[in-house]
Amino acid sequence: MNTLEDEKLLTKGEVALLCRVNIRTVDRWLMAGKVAGHRTPSGRVLFRKRDILTVVAQGETSPRR
């Protein structure tokens, strides 16, 4: 069930707070393709909250061993 809260767009800083990581970690996830970002016309990257929660729940943001 999709709720309005799940569709909320988050900034890198909000993702970092939600996941309890540093903003640079969010940048690394984005560069590695672990999370999908949506670039605005001004160049800002936003993330769908639902996508972030799904990726974190699946453990795809963990460092590779």
- pLDDT mean by block of 10 residues, the chain; 65 residues: 74 96 95 93 95 87 56
Q: How many CA within 13 A on the CB side of residue 36?
A: 8
Taking the CA atoms of residue 48, residue 10, residue 4 and residue 18 in that order, the dihedral angle to the nearest 10 degrees is 100
Q: pTM to 2 decimals? A: 0.80
For residue 63, what pLDDT is reported?
56
Give the tokens for residue 14: 């909000």
Give the domain extent around 26.
9-57
Contacts of 1 (CB under 8 A, 6+ apart): none
Examine residue 27 and state whether it is found in any structural domain, yes or no.
yes
Q: What is the CA radius of gyration of the chain?
A: 12
For residue 65, what pLDDT is reported?
42
CATH code of the domain in which 41 resides: 1.10.1660.10
Check if the beta carbon of residue 21 is closer than 8 Å to that of residue 55: no
The number of domains in the chain is 1
For residue 30, what pLDDT is reported?
95
Examine residue 23 and state whether it is found in any structural domain, yes or no.
yes
